[in-house]
Structure 1
C-alpha cells in the first residue's frame, strides 16, 4: 500500500505548515511511479482544500511509524 503524505501551508498564514495523510478511495491503486510524479489525484484532492497550498509531498510504502501518521 502506498500512502501520500502532503505538506500543506495555510494561505492565510504561509508560515503555518503541517503534514497530512492524504486519504481517498482514488488513492487505493496509486503506484510508486505515479506517486513520485505527483499523483494526478492529488490535484483533485487539493481542489477540496482551497484554504491550503501544497508545499510538497512524499510517498510512503507500507506502515508509517514514529510521526503519528
Structure 2
C-alpha cells in the first residue's frame, strides 16, 4: 500500500507546518507513479481542508507515521 504524506501549513500562520498522512478511501489504489505526479485525489482532499496550504508531499510504501516538518 502506498501512503501519501502531505506537508501542510496553516494559512493563518504560514511557518506553522506539519506532516500528515492523507488517508481516504479515494487513495486505496493509488499507484506510485500517480502519487509522485500529484495524485488527483490530493486536490480533492485539499478542498476539504481549506484552512491549510499544501507545501509538498511524498509517497511511501507501507506504514508510516507523521512527523513534524
How far apart are residue 62 of structure 1 and its match?
Answer: 1.3
CA deviation string 1:23-65 (max 9, x = no partner): 100000100000000000000000000000000000011122x
How far apart are residue 13 of structure 1 and its match?
Answer: 0.1
Q: Give 4+ residue runs of structure 1 displaced > 6 Å after superposition.
A: none
Match of 2:61 in 1: 61
Give the secondary-structure state (helix, strand or coil) at the position aligned to 1:54: strand
Match of 1:11 in 2: 11
Q: TM-score, normalised by structure 1?
A: 0.92
Give the secondary-structure state (helix, strand or coil) at the position aligned to 2:21: strand
Give the secondary-structure state (helix, strand or coil) at the position aligned to 1:30: coil
Q: Which runs of 5+ in 1 are unaligned?
A: none
How far apart are residue 8 of structure 1 and its match?
Answer: 0.1
Structure 2 distance, partners of 1:3, 1:36, is 11
RMSD: 0.7
